[in-house]
């Protein structure tokens, strides 16, 4: 049983078995106040931290939406007709065009 639980149990017992001359130890009251203050401070710190994370989350969502809505025009280099009439582009030229447009290209494989 935690100190707070013990103090609460003692307070409940005192309330149920009220004795007019019941005395509560000053040390116990001060301890309860100190523990309550510590819990309140922890709660405030957690709320502030949650607010910081919430703001960062909202900013990240706004930035993602901005990037997703952005249109980039890429001037592709001239391709040549490949099999079945499909245009074929030089990979280095396409990579250079993407870089000029500010698009990072990750190559897999």
For the chain, the domains span 1-6+19-70, 71-109
Find where tokens 């049983």 sit.
Answer: 1
How confident is residue 60, by pLDDT bands cut at 50, 70 and 90? very high
How confident is residue 85, by pLDDT bands cut at 50, 70 and 90? confident
Other CB atoms closer than 10 Å to residue 44's CB: what's the count?
10
Is the confidence at residue 108, as pLDDT, over 80? no
Mind spelling out the 3-state secondary structure of the chain? CCHHHHHHHHHHHHHHCCCCCCCCCHHHHHHHHHHHHHHHHHHHHHHHHHHHHHHHHHHHHHHHHHHHHCCCCCCCCCCEECHHHCEECCHHHHHHHHHHCCCCCCCCC
Give tens-digit pLDDT for 2-58. Answer: 676 777 777 666 665 655 556 667 777 778 778 888 888 899 999 999 999 999 999
pTM here? Answer: 0.44
Other CB atoms closer than 10 Å to residue 7's CB: what's the count?
19
């Amino acid at each position: 049983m935690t100190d707070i639980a013990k103090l609460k149990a003692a307070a409940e017992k005192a309330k149920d078995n009220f004795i007019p001359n019941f005395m509560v130890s000053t040390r116990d009251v001060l301890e309860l106040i100190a523990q309550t203050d510590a819990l309140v401070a922890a709660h405030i710190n957690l709320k502030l931290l949650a607010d910081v994370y919430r703001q960062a989350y909202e900013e990240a969502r706004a930035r993602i939406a901005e990037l997703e809505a952005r249109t980039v025009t890429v001037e592709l280099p001239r391709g040549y007709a490949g099999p079945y009439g499909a245009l074929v582009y030089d990979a280095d030229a396409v990579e250079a065009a993407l870089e000029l447009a500010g698009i990072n290209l990750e190559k897999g494989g």
